[in-house]
Amino acid sequence: MLTPLLISIIFLLAGFIQGVTGFGSALVAIPLLSLIIDVKGAVPLCILNSLVITTYLSLKMRKHLDAKKIVPLCAAAVPGIIVGSTILKQVSSTIIQICLGILLVAYSIYSLISRPERRKLHSIWSYIAGFLSGAIGAAFSAGGPPTIIYATLNDWKKDTIKATLSGFFLFNSYLIATVHAINGLTTIEIFTYFMISAPFVFLGTVLGTICYGKILGERYLQLIFIFLILMGFMMIVT
């Protein structure tokens, strides 16, 4: 009984984090889950719970969802996943992960200190961000940063940023969950853990969304950069 309880507490926290920022549940859940269950089960379990998170957030932010912003990211992610599964796997994933971690830390610290001017980016960058997210995600399950950076560079309001991230991660979560199911990674045990923890991750997401509503736009961006720094350090260390 202890394992299901610990898993539920972990996803309560993970849901809260993504409810506030629009991303980051895996950053919290995967390291903690790997302490109590095998990582091969932690990843599909995290993806299943991300379906709850991203579905809720997308419905909650539906007024701010813009297909013109989300569809290019999703469309470009598909070939990115194919490339990541074939070419990038032949390169040392450790080197790629460390380089991406250093990039995230450097970019986020720079953004916090200098506050670069945000502007309307050319549409080509959405395809680049989506492709890189798909490729890096397929290579070592950490594809969020390119899309997060792209969203924060645009002159979007915080609701637009969170809605775009939620819509993109919703697409990715359902796609990856389908692949996991087809490959037999989602076992009966993992699905049982999901059914137990789903109410907790939902509650955490709702509470996080309430806190998000009290955060000003500039503070929201600063919070994103802080979490990107944490994500970068996690990539470098692990």
pLDDT tens for residues 84-121? 766 655 666 677 778 778 888 888 888 888 776 777 88
pLDDT at residue 140 in the model: 58
Its sign, for the CA torsion 17, 18, 21, 24, is positive
| DSSP conformation class of 115 | -
pLDDT at residue 87 in the model: 64
Segments forming the whole domain that contains residue 185:
2-237
Q: Of 197, 143, 149, 201, nearest to 171 (Cα)? A: 143
pLDDT at residue 93 in the model: 62
pTM over 0.85: no
Task: Identify the segments of the chain with pLDDT beneath 70.
Answer: 85-93, 116, 138-143, 238
Count structural domains, the chain: 1
pLDDT at residue 138 in the model: 66
pLDDT at residue 85 in the model: 64
What's the CA gap between 112 and 98, in Å, rounded?
21
115 alpha carbon, distance to own chain's centre: 23
